[in-house]
Amino acid sequence: MSNSFFQHTQTAHCESGVISNLLGHYGLQISEPMAFGIGAGIFFGHLPFVKVNGVPGTTYRIWPGAIFQRVCKRLGVKMEAEKFSTPEKGMQALDKVIAEGVPVGLLSSVYYLPYFPPSYRFHFNAHNLVVYGKEDGQYLVSDPVMETVTTIDPESLAQARFAKGFPAPKGKMYYPVSVPDSVSFEKPIKAGIEQACHYMLKIPVPLFGVKGIRYLAKKVQHYAEKPGDRKATLYLGNVIRMQEEIGTGGAGFRFLYSAFLQEASTVLKNDQLSKLATEFTETGDLWRNFAFAAGRVCKSRSVDSVSYKELSEMLLQCAASEEVFFRKLAQVQL
């Protein structure tokens, strides 16, 4: 049984990409930036106590799954989502659904996906991909961050879906059961923008949003003393990797969000949004400059407090620029 008519489009980020590809399959055309914006994906968080391989976590976007959930809710798409207790049950359920010709979104661990370059295969459990069929015992895969469709053997797929660790995907699979014939993006865009501003400016915890960037800046300033030495460059390296690694789309999603604002300004016929898009592009460029400088520090492996102080100041600039931007965005009459 084959139904290899799934339209694969490569995107920058896995979650917004899967949304765009899956909904597009049902005739609901939504671009990746639009999905990202409506889902209020833009975010910042620095979590010193959530350590991955001993390195504190930094995120430039909202937690996995949130974009999906929000987009479906705001567009009136009904999703069926299931988790499973054993790989056998999970693979059976997958076979059953794809046999009906329904493409399925899957949560999986990057570590067990053989089609990725080995250098990317860390234990990262929140990757999204689409399986749209099975041919000669191999699953047909549309992974949104890959250029073309690919295949995967059942064993690897089962391992990727049932990887342990945090968060454990538990074979999570999801697929639309009802997609509205026509949707208006206007209201969902407004809701998405409002939520993004709230998350960036108003969370009363210093680890998140603009406050989180300042918090990271403070930490970076003292990286030379704490954690010091070799570890400091590893910590810093992780900040860059989260900003740029596959699934982030460059400059920690800032360009992706600008692209959304540009599209939103056309939909809502609102010039202010397109001006703000240009402004936020500049914020993205600040982040890029930061990554450049941080990359140099990592490369030289020098542990001098002067360079860390400079990096810290660059982060404060990013924070200031984001604060100004989100305050303006919150003021726009939509």
Partner 1 sequence: MKQDEVPQDGDNLHQGTFKQIMYAVDNTGNYVQVPSSGWEPENVALGQAWEEVNEKVKNALARVHAGEISPVAYYMEKTLMDLPLLASYVGKFQWQVKRHLKPEVFKNLSQKMLSRYAAAFKVSVAELIQPA
**Nearer to partner 1 by C-beta: 11 or 142?**
11
What does DSSP assign to residue 164? -
Q: Please, which residue, 77 or 213, has the CB nearer to partner 1?
A: 213
Cis peptide before 227 (omega within 30 of 0): yes
Place of tokens 């208006």: 184
Strands 150-152 and 173-178: unpaired
Instruction: Please count the other Cβ atoms lying within 10 Å of the Cβ belonging to residue 56.
Output: 17
Distance in Å, CB of 1 to partner 1, minimum: 30
Contacts of 64 (CB under 8 A, 6+ apart): 15, 107, 126, 128, 167
Residue with Cβ nearer partner 1 (98 or 286): 286
Residue 240 CB, nearest approach to partner 1 (Å): 4
3 state SS of 90: helix
Residue nearer to partner 1 on the CB measure, 140 or 277: 277
Q: Are 204 and 105 in contact (CB under 8 A)?
A: no
**3-state class percentages of the chain: helix first, strand second, coil last, to nearest 5:** 55, 15, 30
Residues in contact with partner 1 by CB under 8 A are 10-12, 33, 53-54, 111, 116-117, 119-120, 122-123, 145-147, 164-166, 168, 233-234, 236-238, 240-241, 244-246, 249-251, 255-256, 258-259, 262-263, 277-278, 281, 284-285, 288, 291-292, 294-296, 298-299
Report the alpha-carbon distance of residue 241 to residue 43 in Å, rounded. 16
Nearer to partner 1, 82 or 245 (CB): 245
Q: Measured between alpha carbons, how far is 238 from 56 in angstroms, rounded to an integer?
A: 8
Instruction: Report how far residue 123's alpha carbon sits from residue 204's, in angstroms, rounded to the nearest whole number.
Output: 31
C-beta of 100: minimal distance to partner 1 in Å?
31
- Whole-angstrom Cα distance, residue 266 to residue 134? 40
Smallest separation (angstroms) from partner 1 to the CB of 283: 11
**Smallest gap, in angstroms, from Cβ of residue 123 to partner 1?**
6
Q: Is 43 helix (H, G, I), strand (E, B) or coil?
A: strand
Taking the least distance from each CB to partner 1, the nearer of 195 and 248 is 248
Q: Whats the size of the chain, residue-wise?
A: 334
For the bound state, the minimum distance from the C-beta of residue 51 to partner 1, rounded and expressed in Å, comes to 9
Comparison of 154 and 295: residue with beta carbon closer to partner 1 = 295
Q: How far is the CB of 236 from partner 1 (least distance, A)?
A: 8
